[in-house]
Amino acid sequence: MEPRQRNRLGFFFRKYNFFLLLIFFWGFVYLLLLGNNSLLSRVNLQSKIASTTGEIERLTKENLGLRNQIDKIKNDRDHMEYMARRLGYIRKGEVVYKFDGSGTAEAKPGVKRISAFESFIRLNLRFIVLSLALISLLIVWIGFRLRDRAKRKGFDSLRK
């Protein structure tokens, strides 16, 4: 290179040295914080590893419990009978009595049993009545606000 070109390059680097350092600094910060292998991605990966490890431990415990339950069902006749009865099976010769759960309500005089539909209608009626009450209170409140606004603007009442 000629000396004159060296002087031009030297002048350029001396004049813009601060800006070049600033660009390199922010590029380095960007790569450090937001790049592919940045600190933020490492922190995210570590938190994912921790949550996955916890999930693996929970599933391992659940798997062990299920294996124990399978062993009980295969080997323990009492547990097998218990599980079968939970599923609704009965032995030969057994009689099944089904109750609707209202034994105490029908035994008491004056107690009326209502169906699920009636209960649903009563609940909806309560909601409708409450909604109408709130709407009427809102209308009254708006009326008072309008009356106060009219008084502030100098309008007298319409009644004479």
Domain ranges in the chain?
123-160
In the prediction, which pLDDT does 160 show? Answer: 47
Kindly state the average pLDDT of the residues 79-102.
78
DSSP 8-state secondary structure symbol assigned to residue 160: -
**Taking the CA of residue 12 as centre, how many other CA atoms within 13 Å lie in the half-sphere pointing to its CB?**
6
Percent of the chain with pLDDT over 70: 70
With cut-offs at 50, 70 and 90, classify the pLDDT of residue 84.
Answer: confident
What pTM value is reported for the model?
Answer: 0.38
Burial bucket for residue 103 (CB in 10 Å: 0-12, 13-18, 19+): exposed
Query: Mind listing the pLDDT tens digit for each residue in 113-148?
Result: 666 777 777 677 777 777 888 888 888 888 888 888
107 — pLDDT class (breaks 50, 70, 90):
very low
pLDDT tens for 2-56 read 655 556 666 666 666 767 677 777 777 777 777 777 777 788 888 899 999 999 9
